[in-house]
Structure 1
Amino acid sequence: MNLIPLGVGGAFTSRFYHNNYIAEIGTKKLLIDAGTTLRTSIKKAGYSYLDIDAVWISHLHSDHVGGLEELIFQRYWHLKNDIHHPMKTHIFVHQTIYPLLRQLLSFPLENGGATVDDFCDFTVVGDEEHINFEGLQLHIFDTSNTHIQGMASSGVFIRGPLGNVLFSSDVKDLQGANLMRFINTDTVAIFQDTSFTSNGAHALFSDILAYYPKEVQSKIYAMHYNDPIEDYVAAIEQAGIQYVKEREAMTFTLN
């Protein structure tokens, strides 16, 4: 699996693009979240909306879903030789988020007699289900109330026969999210949103070091971090963890 960070920043970043990714798995490309900076970040990374085979949406903050409407429209209204060749967008989503996402999309999409289903196909899953995607299993799990109280959210655990990767999405309450239940000797990477300043929505760097055992901290990739990341690189390196860099691809052998 090749993982390309389209961006690494948070909702209010003025330096980076939003914390969205493309996972190249086999012959297919999975877009991990679709923030408002997607229209620029996806082109900067050398991709287009038409390259995407499926999208996973973790939650409904604008830095994770604000660019989804444009992606859907651009794919649907795709022209080839001036002929309309509509491409529906396949969306993976947890069952707690699905009705909210569908309602959100209904406002721009449901007009002129059209419905959301004219533009999108959904795969809706619960915690005990998984999606088979090019030889890997995608387990989308509920993290509601652990990012912000009262907000539906989810993470994804990507598992193959040779290894697995955990993607936390946005989490403040690490204990409540119970992320360690996914970590085992086959884990090759833990993508964890990391804040270096006090806030009400994301785990602090110190909280992350306290939560994850020392023996797995070298597998942590800090993401969704503060703009002046250079101020914290020494602390990151001293702790032995890593941090994601915008458009710097990573390769993990999972199958």
Structure 2
Amino acid sequence: MSRRRLRFLGVGDSESINFWNTNLLLETESRRLLIDCGYTIKYALRDVGLTLGDIDAIAITHVHADHVFGLERFGYEMRYSYRRRIPLMLEPNIMSALWEQTLKGCMGRSSDGENRLEDFFNVKPISHHAFGFEGCQLHTFPTIHTPGMDTYGLIFDDDVIFTADSKPLDWLASDRSDRLILHDCSLQASNPVHATLEELIRVYPPQVRNRLLAIHYGDDLETYRSLIERELGGVAEQGNEVVWG
């Protein structure tokens, strides 16, 4: 199996101004898959020496702004500057919300007239909660986030788990593998739709916490860093990466 690299393009929550939106970049030997595409994506790519044109495909976990608002800029530049449509992978039950409730207002009409999502991207609905990218096998799983909204996390090659936005998950609390976990970690005292640091410590046993990196955190990270590093596996630092294979 060829080496895979997962770069942390951004690690911040939706309110953060010190960290970019939590978006990841899966890189194989020859291609790049962007995981989520928030409104700070151009800055995040610039910081690692890349542009929108260097991305070969995108996968979306859910339709909140810090995960999808960058698609408007991405779609327009791909269509009119790069003259290509790249694959957009997403669970079928979030497709309508992505276009009809999120992107259509700003992308539904252009100089070419009326548009569909398919006019900007090669839309690839995920089948049976799994898809492949350059030999890497990815599986989606439902998360606990905003009530009534379909949200998903991703597992990469059964080596790395990314919860995206989620409260703690019962099945993860009983996981006894050695898989690395990138887990949503709100630094607020309480949060109805994101796992708080206190919840991560309380819900997950040590054998889970010691391989868990906090991600999607706020600008007050340094206030909590010592507690995170004592109780969890550490912090997913912006610009860092994990490699496997």
TM-score greater than 0.5 by the shorter chain: yes
Taking the aligned partners of 1:239 and 1:57, their CA distance within structure 2 comes to: 30
Aligned to 1:168: 163
User: What is the number of equivalent residue pairs in this alignment?
Assistant: 237
Partners of 1:129 and 1:61 in 2: CA distance: 20
Deviation at 1:49, TM superposition (A): 0.3
CA-based RMSD of the aligned residues comes to: 1.9
Q: Which residue of the partner structure matches residue 117 of structure 1?
A: 118
Question: Quick one: structure 1 residues 240 and 169, their matched pair in 2 at CA, closer, same or farther if it must change by over 3 Å?
Answer: closer
Q: State TM-score, norm by structure 1.
A: 0.86
1:218 paired with 2:210, answer yes
Report percent identity of matched pairs.
30
Quick one: distance in 1 between partners of 2:23 and 2:79? 21
Q: What one-letter code is carried by the residue in structure 2 that aligns with 1:18?
A: N
Inter-partner Cα distance in structure 2 for 1:115 and 1:148? 26
Q: Against the structure 1 CA distance between its residues 186 and 17, is the aligned structure 2 distance closer, same or farther, given a 3 Å change threshold?
A: same
Distance apart, 1:91 and its partner CA: 0.9
Q: 2: distance between equivalents of 1:238 and 1:129?
A: 35
**Structure 1 contact 9–16 (Cα < 8 Å) conserved:** yes
Aligned residues of 1:168 and 1:179 also touching (Cα < 8 A): no
Deviation readout 1:153-211 (Å, 9 max, x if unpaired): 1111111xxx5111100012533xx4457x45352x10101012122221011211233
Distance in 2 (alpha carbons) for counterparts of 1:95 and 1:184: 31
1:72 and 1:107 mapped to 2: Cα distance? 14
Q: Shift of the alpha carbon at 1:120?
A: 0.9
SS of 2:46 mapped into structure 1: helix
2:213 and 2:199 mapped to 1: Cα distance?
15
- Give TM-score scaled by structure 2 length: 0.89
Question: Is 1:28 aligned to 2:31, yes or no?
Answer: yes
Change (3 A) 1:95 1:179: farther
Aligned counterpart in structure 2 of residue 86 of structure 1, from 83, 87, 103 = 83
